[in-house]
Amino acid sequence: MCDHLFVVTGGPGSGKSTLIEALSRRGVASMPEAGRAIIRDQVAIGGTALPWADRALYAELMLGWELRSFHEAEAMAGPVVMDRGIPDIAGYLTLIGLDVPAHVEVAARRFRYNRTVFLAPYWEAIFAQDAERKQDKAEAEATARMMEETYKALGYEVVALPLASVEARADFVMERVGR
């Protein structure tokens, strides 16, 4: 287990990346989300590993990204905030009705983060769609619930972020990561 790696998970448009940017400005190391980068790259090259095309291939690329991020962050000193983690892939596959392959399950159980996982719940006031975030309100809410269930099933303590300003959320996380 890597006690210094803290996952921020939740549904799309719940303020995860904005929070992580605020924590980075405070000197907390972070690792970026796989999904958006993969979508941008796949669109740029005409690839099909997209959540609206080949979702299983998209999940495999996310797994590779998250494994690399885990190993990179594992070598860092001090707390590192992860924009999603390996269990998110299992949650995503379950959410969209695909089987979770054994190797994804093994990865989620083998590569462990700090027991405390931060959940950014659906928050209507800040939810927005864009070119890479096509999910609607119902899917955003379902995603947050699925991520909470997935992490809890793996033995993590899921702590909901307050529906508050970015700075208040950053303060909340800073108090819990020991900085």
What HEC string does 75-126 produce?
A: CCCCCEEEECCHHHHHHHHHHCCCCCCHHHHHHHHHCCCCCEEEEECCCCCC
Residues 6 or more apart in contact with residue 139 via CB below 8 angstroms: 11, 12
- Residue 132: the pLDDT is 52
What CATH number corresponds to the domain at position 60?
3.40.50.300
Cβ atoms of 147 and 9 within 8 Å: the answer is yes
CA torsion sign for 4, 140, 57, 91 is positive
- Residue 153: the pLDDT is 98
Any idea what the Cα angle at residue 18 is, between residues 138 and 57, rounded to 5°? 60
- Residue 2: phi and psi, rounded to 5, are -105, 95
Total domains in the chain come to 1
- Residue 123: the pLDDT is 77
As a whole number of angstroms, the distance between CA 64 and CA 92 comes to 15
- Residue 39: the pLDDT is 92
Q: In what order do the strands lie in the sheet with 29-31?
A: 29-31, 80-83, 5-10, 116-120, 157-160
As a whole number of angstroms, the distance between CA 160 and CA 10 comes to 9
CA torsion sign for 126, 131, 132, 136 is positive
As a whole number of angstroms, the distance between CA 118 and CA 136 comes to 22
- Residue 24: the pLDDT is 95
- Residue 30: the pLDDT is 96
- Residue 21: the pLDDT is 94
Range of the domain at 57: 5-176
> Which stretches in the chain have pLDDT values below 70?
126-135, 179
